[in-house]
Amino acid sequence: MKRNRLPSFLIALLAIFAALLSAPNRTRAADDRYVYWARYDVAISQLDTTRNFFHVTETYHLQIDTGPINGGDRKIPLARVTSIDNIRVTDGGRALRAQNNTPDDCPTTRGIVCLSRVSGEQVIYYNFFTQAQDGDTRTIVVDYDVNGALRSYPD
């Protein structure tokens, strides 16, 4: 009798993504600005093993301890995926306008997200709609599709 391996496969997949998506709880900028991740949630949906595809929604609940903070970034390793597509970032529920620029070439324009592939990583560099000050909170949502990351083995 053949056992269904899908539940253990999903658990392994979620564990891998939790490790890849883990972020520090508190980040300090070089000039003593601090951002605290009050929550960092990841949801995986639309899992399609036939198409080797799934959708990821990352939600960051940020607390600004010491500002000002203009935005942030997210880097996703591409070594074990075919592609990351359909990237969308929102700040407080409002969609940021996407641009194809590296972080070094990303303008300081408010309300944009710069998307690039640099050194084997998908780089998502975003600027808030308004600069965050001491005591502010922000909810940032990063949505994207992952292709070619699922692995299946006969045993």
Q: Where are the alpha helices (DSSP H) in 44-86?
A: none
**If pLDDT is split at 50, 70 and 90, which confidence band does 93 have?**
very high
**Backbone dihedral region for residue 154 (phi beyond 0: left; psi -120 to 50: alpha; all else: beta):** alpha
How many of the other CB atoms lie within 10 Å of CB of 29? 11
How far is CA 150 from its chain centroid?
18
**pLDDT of 106 strictly over 80:** yes
pLDDT for 1-47, tens place per residue?
444 445 555 555 555 555 455 444 545 455 788 898 999 999 999 99
Q: Which of 74, 57, 59 is nearest to 146 (CA)?
A: 57
pLDDT for 112-134, tens place per residue?
999 999 999 999 999 999 999 99
**What global pTM score does this model have?**
0.80
- Three-class SS string for 131-145? EECCCCEEEEEEEEE
Report the side by side order of strands in the sheet with 34-48: 26-28, 34-48, 53-66, 137-147, 83-91, 94-95
C-beta separation of 116 from 102 below 8 A: yes
> 69 pairs with which residues across the strands?
132
pLDDT for 42-86, tens place per residue?
999 999 999 999 999 999 999 999 999 999 999 999 999 999 999
**pLDDT of 110 strictly over 90:** yes
